[in-house]
Structure 1
């Protein structure tokens, strides 16, 4: 009997330790040390495992484990609950209104995404601003052949051959004051877009991913982006593959008190976007539309794009 109890305790602790590490990683105010960026990404899923484990630990009277799991579960609820809390006014804004803009971001996976599907989404979703990451010259031409320029006539593109470093920005209205962030591994172009008479700076975001041996690069590029956007007084929208979830401290530092994550503000749950097209369903919300705190959002939805390992993310942003 003692052996069985000992075995049960061992199994419970073996399962619990990774979950407790995820909770610790999420609670820390930094994420620039491996494996924190990898651990913290599992925060939205951890409570689904913690709860049954907590019940077993409680009824088996393993008090230390019960307390640790209870505190962790409370933390996970606190961190994830806002994603399921719709705003007081959750009506869908009309993209046709002059003061709104329908924004879409998609990672094209080295230009392997299906261009016809991307253009079809732009058309069906009434997209007015499109952010594309991992843009290659061939994919840009494929978008043109599929009719993108007929829907979004203005563009600023920085394609890259045989590399994930290319990006592009398309709009229904003229792009002015085009800029390109220097020093980043991947192109992050931006431009002013007219939305109902308000000039809004839209930035295509794509920092280097937080691979275990490249965490410093990932964080440095996000920190530099943070400095750049917070120094700009113009109203802004950031759209792209941030290679970070809301649970990453570096991403929350980028938001600060000025910006908000559209998915979290809409309150329909995390819009998981990666990895797409595998046997494992998408688990992580790496793609975001980030807006000024005083810009209401609505109808935020992730949508499949054949050929890409990311889902596209679409959101309506009310500028004024």
Structure 2
């Protein structure tokens, strides 16, 4: 009998230790070292796994383990619950209102995404600003052939052949003060967009991913982006593949007290966007629309695009 109890206890601890480590990693105010970025990305899924394990630990009378799991679960719920709190506004914003901006971002996987689908979403979803990552010259031509220039005639693109380094920004209204964030692995173009008399700087975001062998570029580029956007007094919207979830400290540092993640503000749950298009369902919310904290958001959704491993993210942003 002792052997059975000991075996059950060992199994419970073996399952629990990774869940407890994820909670500790999420609690830390930094994530710039291996394996922290990869652990904290699992936070939403650790939440789902911790509850049944806690119930088993309680029935098995493993008091110490139950207390630790209860503390971890409390943290997980605290971190995750705001994603399910709807906005205080009584009705969704009207995308046709001149003070709103319908924004869409999509990573097109080295230009392998279906351009017709992208343009179709732009048209059907009344997109006014499109941010594209991993843009190639061939995909830019395919977008033009599919009619994107007729819907969004103004653009600032930095395409790259056979590389994830390209990015592009399209708009229904003229762009001004175009610039590119210097010193990054992948292009991050930005420009001012006019919204009912207000200029908003829209930036296409795509920092280097946190590779297990080296996360220096990821940490450095997120920090560089954070410093750059917070130094700019212009009202801003950031859209793209951030290669980070809300649970990453680097992403929360980027938000600071100034910006909000549109998905979290909309309150319909985390918008998982990667990996897409395989037998594994999307697990991580890497793609975001980030807005000024005083900009309400509405109708934040994800959409499938054939040919890419990311889902597109769309949001209506109330600028004025």
- Give me the TM-score of the superposition, normalised by structure 2: 0.99
Q: Check conservation: 1:90, 1:266, Cα contact below 8 A.
A: no
Structure 1 distance, partners of 2:182, 2:18, is: 38
Structure 1 residue 216 displacement after superposition = 1.2
Residue aligning to 1:269: 269
Residue aligning to 1:290: 290
Structure 1 distance, partners of 2:216, 2:21, is: 21
Which runs of 4 or more aligned residues in structure 1 lie more than 4 Å from their structure 2 counterparts after TM superposition? none
Residue aligning to 2:97: 97
Matches within 5 A, 1:120-131: 120-131=120-131
Q: Which runs of 5+ in 1 are unaligned?
A: none
Name the CA shift for 1:90/1:115 in 2 (closer, same or farther; >3 Å): farther
Residue aligning to 2:117: 117
CA deviation vs aligned residue, 1:275-297 (integer Å, no higher than 9, x gap): 00111100100000000000000
Structure 2 distance, partners of 1:277, 1:13, is: 35
CA deviation vs aligned residue, 1:143-186 (integer Å, no higher than 9, x gap): 00000000000000000000000000000000100000110000
Aligned Cα RMSD in Å?
0.6
**1:44 aligned counterpart, secondary structure:** helix
2:75 aligned with 1:80:
no
Structure 1 distance, partners of 2:86, 2:41, is: 23
2:73 aligned with 1:60:
no
CA deviation vs aligned residue, 1:183-215 (integer Å, no higher than 9, x gap): 000000000000111000000000000011221
Residue aligning to 1:225: 225
Residue aligning to 1:36: 36
Structure 2 distance, partners of 1:162, 1:60, is: 55
**1:317 aligned counterpart, secondary structure:** strand
Residue aligning to 1:243: 243
Q: Check conservation: 1:51, 1:73, Cα contact below 8 A.
A: yes
- Give me the TM-score of the superposition, normalised by structure 1: 0.99
Q: Check conservation: 1:152, 1:172, Cα contact below 8 A.
A: yes
Q: Which runs of 5+ in 2 are unaligned?
A: none
Structure 1 residue 3 displacement after superposition = 1.1
For this pair of structures, how many residues does the alignment match? 320
Structure 1 distance, partners of 2:78, 2:228, is: 30
Structure 2 distance, partners of 1:197, 1:7, is: 68
Structure 1 residue 90 displacement after superposition = 4.7
Structure 1 residue 6 displacement after superposition = 1.1
Residue aligning to 2:26: 26
